[in-house]
Amino acid sequence: MSSAIKQNIPSAIVLFLVALPLCLGIAQSQGAPPIAGLITGIVGGIVVGALGASPLSIAGPSAGLSMVVISGIAATGGFQAFSVAVIIAGAIQMGLAWLKFGMFSKFIPGSVIRGLLAAVGIIIVLKQIPHVFGYDGDFIGDLQFTQGDGRNTFTELWFMTGYMNATTFLISAVSLSGMLVWEKQIATRYKRLAAVPGALVAVVLGIAVNELAGHVAWLNQVGESHLLRLPGNIGPKDLFSHFYTLNFAQQLQKPEIWKTAVVISLLASTKSLIGLEASDKIDPQRRVCDKNRDLLAQGIGNVLCGLFGGLPLTTVLIGTIANAKAGATSRISVIIHGLLLLAATLLIAPFFKLIPLTTFAVIIAVVGYRLTSYTVFKEQWVAGREHFLPFLATFVAVIFTDIITGAAIGFLVALAFILKGTYQKGFYSSQQNNVYTIRLGDSISFIHRAGLSEELRKIPSGSRVNLIADSTQSVHHDIAEVINEFQAGAQNRQISIVKNNIPYIPDRKDLKSLKNVTYRKMLYGNRQWVEESLARDRLYFEKLARGQAPQILWIGCADSRVPPNEITKTQPGEIFMHRNIANLVVHTDLNMLSVLQYAVEVLQVKQVIVCGHYECGGVATAMKNADVGLVNNWLRQIKEVYSANVAELERIGDTKMRERLLVELNVREQVRNLAMTSIIQKAWKKRQLEIHGWVVDLGTGYIKELPISLNGASDLEPIFRYKV
């Protein structure tokens, strides 16, 4: 643990120096008290850092939420009322995490995330240039194209030329040079100094140059407007005083509070998921975090931000990138940076008021530069246009709009390629002489309706059409409608249609009720089964009609999920079967006894299998005290099994596990009940006959063979042995 802390301290300092001006600048731009931004940074570092899953991502105030915050404060009637909306938004985020909303991050294509990161690197550098030359019109940390001062990323570069300051440029040059020399030369040569990050050296040099500038005739010391402005005289009680001003009873009655909360929760969650996905991409160890856990942590963080007077928090991309590029290995870096923000707010605020904003701009610009690489453009180009175009669209859109809008545009371009690929693979057509073959792919859906309809329309009269399906399960309703319309007109056009492997397609009269569809589907399935069977063996039904000689008698549950032939991959004629609720062998059940006698004495089966299954409704009902009418009498057999094994069963605390054991005990009991019949015992006197107990696990499909197998009356107590 101590080595991990030591390893993450340098990155925590860099992250702190990036986060500090961001927290203050964003709070100022959103019309909130400066302390609000710091509270959000502290909560994002300490609380979200401790509870979250992502090893590198940072949560804090976001410039991307500026419009929502500004309009929210106005709509709710002030910052105190807005804080209640932030609390509710946090609770909604916690609910979204419970609903697994984080899974949607996996639908963001990798090319979109790479385009976003490449654009953010460029934006970070461009946005810092005015600060480097002495113009601080926009706040540090803004990533949006359109700025609060009415200008944009590019017009700001021209506008700054009227405000260029020699002192700030000198501070920038010295800070940048000192930072690079320290990292590239000194820190690599002297290992003991490697723990001191270059960003901290840049801060010290920036303060020193600014102080010296006041003593040089041709330079001027930069004024307070170009220095970091921390709120002064803040004590611990100031961090908690906001809580006592909140009037929940009054604010919760305002519809505007709830509307603002929903908007904040959805926008913050979406931005967070994009940021978390980007964090995974830049993680050197390629770790994939649990997005739902991070969403839950941020929900808790937003509740606390609202209570203590902070702004809504979300994943901060600049901070995340800075943390990763500074060499962070775990969330310890995030937590330490939160503690440093807390210390800066309460203990050492006067020192930070000496730092020029241009020094912070240099540190952040270096972060952006290290993120940007031309090789990513080459890699996406080589990957193909279906990857390059979404990457490029995202890159351009993020630069000229904002992160969420840019990612959405990139996603739509990627989606267009996905839809195009799916459209092309929906169906295939070919022609040989006057025979047309139409093959319906597994992925055919409503988007192929127009194409398939046109393909069928162009088939000339008098042709033969082979319709083939890759999937035998079902056909999309819109495709079924196209095929029905084609069939309806085919007779008039003398077109003959041969279907191969085509699932049931209901016509309009069938669609009048679900009953009709189910009924007709079974009849259609029968015809399809006949055709497929004859295709394999033209004498199949002739052989089947000659008689049966099954080797197995199956006594199983009537549950529709355990069809014997399908789960054992056997053919008609191989298993003689009897099924009832919970696969019971009851000595008064004449139906079962008749089946047993016929199978053993006439068909001469060699094995009898009693097969139960987990998740059996009969067994589950027998374990309860509910009155289920006539079925009570039938299920009493299972209750007797429970009573005989009550000590073993009730040692199991988990109800589901107890039910599974009762399923097995029930099968074992029915195997013994079979052995107690005179029918079985007579057969044992004459020949070999085995009785087995099986259980099907519906969760896996596999059959479990129970450790019970009887092949003679000697396995029974003497009282149950008949003199046959």
State yes or no: 289 annotated in a binding site: no
Q: Is the pLDDT of residue 504 over 80?
A: no
Q: Is the pLDDT of residue 598 over 90?
A: yes
Q: Percent of the chain, pLDDT > 90?
A: 44
Average pLDDT of the segment spanning 549-559: 95
pLDDT at 422: 67
Report which of 315, 413, 321 is spatially closest to residue 58, judged by C-alpha positions.
315
pLDDT at 218: 66
Task: Map tokens 């014997």 to a residue.
Answer: 564
Annotation says 114 is catalytic = no
pLDDT at 288: 84
CB contact at 8 A, 279 and 315:
yes
Between residues 151 and 230, the one the model is more confident about = 151
Annotation says 387 is catalytic = no
pLDDT in tens, 166-221: 888 899 999 999 999 988 888 888 877 878 888 889 999 988 988 888 777 666 77
Between residues 382 and 303, the one the model is more confident about = 303
Q: Which of 138, 616, 668, 692 is catalytic?
A: 616
Helix (H, G, I), strand (E, B) or coil at 575: strand
State yes or no: 477 annotated in a binding site: no
State yes or no: 654 annotated in a binding site: no
Annotation says 658 is catalytic = no
Q: Which of 613, 660, 668, 672 is catalytic?
A: 613
pLDDT at 511: 55
Residue by residue, DSSP assigns 44-109 as HHHHHHHH---SS--EEE-GGGHHHHHHHHHHHTSHHHHHHHHHHHHHHHHHHHHTTGGGGGGGS-
Between residues 510 and 349, the one the model is more confident about = 349
pLDDT at 424: 63
State yes or no: 616 annotated in a binding site: yes
Annotation says 561 is catalytic = yes
pLDDT at 535: 80
Q: Which of 557, 611, 660, 672 is catalytic?
A: 557
pLDDT at 639: 95
pLDDT in tens, 139-157: 887 888 888 778 898 999 8
CA angle, residues 626, 630, 631, in degrees to nearest 5: 60
pLDDT at 334: 95
Map out the domains of the chain with their CATH numbers: 2-400 (no CATH), 427-505 (3.30.750.24), 547-720 (3.40.1050.10)
Q: Which of 559, 578, 611, 692 is catalytic?
A: 559
Query: Rounded mean pLDDT of the chain?
Result: 87
Between residues 333 and 285, the one the model is more confident about = 333
Distance from first CA to last CA of the chain, Å, rounded? 77
Annotation says 289 is catalytic = no
pLDDT at 528: 78
Between residues 143 and 649, the one the model is more confident about = 649
pLDDT band at residue 1 using 50, 70 and 90 as cut-offs: low
Report which of 41, 33, 229, 25 is spatially closest to residue 137, judged by C-alpha positions.
25
Report which of 575, 593, 584, 576 is spatially closest to residue 556, judged by C-alpha positions.
584
Helix (H, G, I), strand (E, B) or coil at 432: strand
pLDDT at 701: 92
pLDDT at 509: 60
